[in-house]
Structure 1
Amino acid sequence: MKKYFIIALITLFFSCNSSAQKSNQKENEKVTFNVTKTEAEWKAQLTKEQYFILREAGTERPYSSPFNNNHKKGVYHCAACNVPLFKSEHKFESGSGWPSFDRVIEGNVAFGTDTKIGYTRDEEHCANCGGHLGHVFNDGPKETTGKRHCINGDALTFVEDKE
């Protein structure tokens, strides 16, 4: 009986990861972005860490980004194409180990579905170049948006306000 329960549990786990959840994009549909480059061009432009995050949808180690403790006023841009993504006034300390924001700069961040780790997450990428940024969760500050945009620091550059 215990053996059948374990088999049923494993079957249920894998069946919940259906192909319908894998992508909102049609099978042969190719997404195009304003900034497109070959993989060789991206490798030449980006650091090894930036390439891993932005082009291979990797994740940096938690607490490794200097942006976790950045409290200056300014705007966080995409490290690949320099489009503005997040304002410092929307950054908050989430305790997650990654820079976190409660909102995006509208129109500059796009969303998709990520099922690589066995369950569905809302993935974020730069709407201008398609670079992977991180994920968005519904456990952010309740007094603002309730969202936590959990972003890899290596996907960002920071432009400080000149005031």
Structure 2
Amino acid sequence: QEHTTVDLLPPCTCRDSQLDGVDTRLGADSNGERGVMAEAKKKKHVFSVKKSKKEWREQLTREEYRILRRGGTQAPGCGEYNRIYPKTGYFACKGCDNPLYSVNSKFPDSGWVAFDQCYWSKGECHVGTRRDGIGIELICNRCAGHLGHVFYGENHTAKNERH
């Protein structure tokens, strides 16, 4: 599907189009688990995009590589995504173009881009999780790119989940 890049700041790229066959649901599974953690416990995931360190370094800028492949964090308040709220489209992984979040799931936060709901399709969440010593790390379910962390119970939105 064709889409237009709005901005190119890691870890996501905003695309100006709609997706067919993608659900933005966020609900409890049969065990009562919510959101991305429920999906993470279901099965071992195999990433469909695999590249060498050299290939990633050729594709990404130094800063993009530091964030997506090394788990770095952007400085708070940097980047255009903190200031723009597109009316249509979605945010995609900078590493593999996997659709991650609808523009409708973005909300104002304390310095970083924040979302409260990720995309699902074919019964699988587009955003995965793993424990990383800091908390619950969010990763792209296609290329394992670092997206940030998930936080619960902050009451920023009705979904009570911040990505």
Distance 2:81 2:154 in 1: 18
Structure whose CA Rg is larger: 1
Distance 2:128 2:141 in 1: 5
Pick aligned residue for 1:77 from 58, 77, 92: 92
Distance 1:69 1:58 in 2: 21
Query: 1:108 — aligned with what?
Result: 126
Which structure: greater helix fraction? 1
Q: Give the RMSD, CA atoms, in angstroms.
A: 1.9
Alignment check: 8 A CA contact 2:156 2:162 kept:
no
Q: What secondary structure does 1:124 align onto?
A: strand
Matched pairs, number: 116
Which 5+ residue runs of structure 2 have no aligned equivalent?
Answer: 1-39
Cα deviation for residue 144 of structure 1 reads 2.1
Query: 2:135 — aligned with what?
Result: 121
Q: What secondary structure does 1:41 align onto?
A: helix
Distance 2:107 2:77 in 1: 14
Provide TM-score, normalisation by structure 2. Answer: 0.66
Runs of 4+ with deviation above 3 angstroms: 139-143
Which 5+ residue runs of structure 1 have no aligned equivalent?
Answer: 1-23, 25-29, 150-163
Q: What secondary structure does 2:66 align onto?
A: helix
Cα deviation for residue 121 of structure 1 reads 0.7
Distance 1:55 1:129 in 2: 10
Query: 1:40 — aligned with what?
Result: 54
Query: 2:80 — aligned with what?
Result: 66
Distance 1:83 1:67 in 2: 18
Q: Percent identity?
A: 39
Cα-to-partner distance string for 1:47-82 (whole Å, 9 max, x where unaligned): 111100000000010001210111112200000000
Query: 1:50 — aligned with what?
Result: 64
Q: Which amino acid aligns with 1:85?
A: L
Cα deviation for residue 140 of structure 1 reads 4.4
Cα deviation for residue 141 of structure 1 reads 4.0
Distance 1:145 1:68 in 2: 20
Alignment check: 8 A CA contact 2:128 2:138 kept:
yes
Provide TM-score, normalisation by structure 1. Answer: 0.66
Pick aligned residue for 1:138 from 152, 158, 163: 152
Q: Which amino acid aligns with 1:147?
A: E
Q: Which amino acid aligns with 2:61?
A: T
